Amino acid sequence: MPWVHRSFWLGPCIIAALLGSLVLLFSSGRLRRVYQGRIEATGRERPFLASVGFFVTAIVVRTITIAIHHHVPLFHDVEMHGRHIHHMVWGILLLLAVGYAWLMGIGTGVPTNGVGRLTSMLYGIASALVLDEFALWLNLKDVYWQREGRESVEAMVLFASLLAVTLFGAPLFEGLVREFRSGSRRTKVGRTD
């Protein structure tokens, strides 16, 4: 059984430890006040937390796969009955779980509560797990360490860029929407039909 082997728990434990450390670091004092003023108050908390989950997971997963590839003793593939279980599988299952939770309205309230924060981070984690093996599901064969494996890195960069644009571009997009709305109101008011 894969879940009894330490390799199965190594990645999730490292990711949880890093994200948990960040949560603790920003849970009180001056860092908490800065977080509340710069992230919570702006309405960008969910994309921010998804980005943090994505980047931490991408770094951890790439590090672990490099260690496995170079036969570092502590790191091994997860196998079940002789079949390699790719980390993409866990990402898909996690995306399904988060999607179902959001479909049921769990963690979708405003302002964001603890469950909403958790599901946002889990979304980022799951996205990194799935996109890290994008080349596998695109080519339907394991090309992680081959030239085609670069497609996974490119997919991760594109998604990371989308998260960054969502996070940092939100004030611009909000301003553009306000400007467009006020411009169309002025056009309607000034019209003489």
Q: What is the pLDDT of residues 85-119, one digit of tens each?
A: 888 999 999 999 999 999 999 998 877 788 999 99
Structurally, how many domains does the chain consist of?
A: 1
Q: Which domain holds residue 125?
A: 2-190
Going by pLDDT thresholds of 50, 70 and 90, the confidence category of residue 9 is confident
Q: Which two tokens stand for residue 39?
A: 């992230």
Mean pLDDT of 171-182: 73
At position 102, the amino acid (one-letter code) is W
Going by pLDDT thresholds of 50, 70 and 90, the confidence category of residue 41 is confident
Mean pLDDT for the chain overall:
84
State yes or no: pLDDT of 33 exceeds 60. yes
- What is the rounded CA–CA span in Å between residue 98 and residue 30? 31
Tell how many helices (H) and how many strands (E) occur in the chain.
7, 2
Q: What is the pLDDT of residue 54?
A: 93
Partners of residue 83 on adjacent β-strands? 80
Euclidean distance between the first and the last CA atom of the chain, given in angstroms as a whole number = 75
Inter-axis angle of helices 114-131 and 87-103, nearest 10: 150
Q: Where is 84: in which H helix or E strand?
A: strand 83-84
Mean pLDDT of 15-39: 90
Higher pLDDT, 27 or 166: 27
Cβ atoms of 80 and 2 closer than 8 Å: yes
Q: What is the pLDDT of residue 148?
A: 80
Give tens-digit pLDDT for 113-152.
Answer: 889 999 999 999 999 999 888 888 777 677 777 878 788 8
Whose CA is closest to 50, among 133, 127, 134, 155? 127
- What is the rounded CA–CA span in Å between residue 124 and residue 131? 10
- What is the rounded CA–CA span in Å between residue 23 and residue 31? 10
Taking 3-state DSSP, the helix, strand and coil percentages for the chain, each rounded to the nearest 5, stand at 75, 0, 20
Q: Which two tokens stand for residue 102?
A: 């959001």
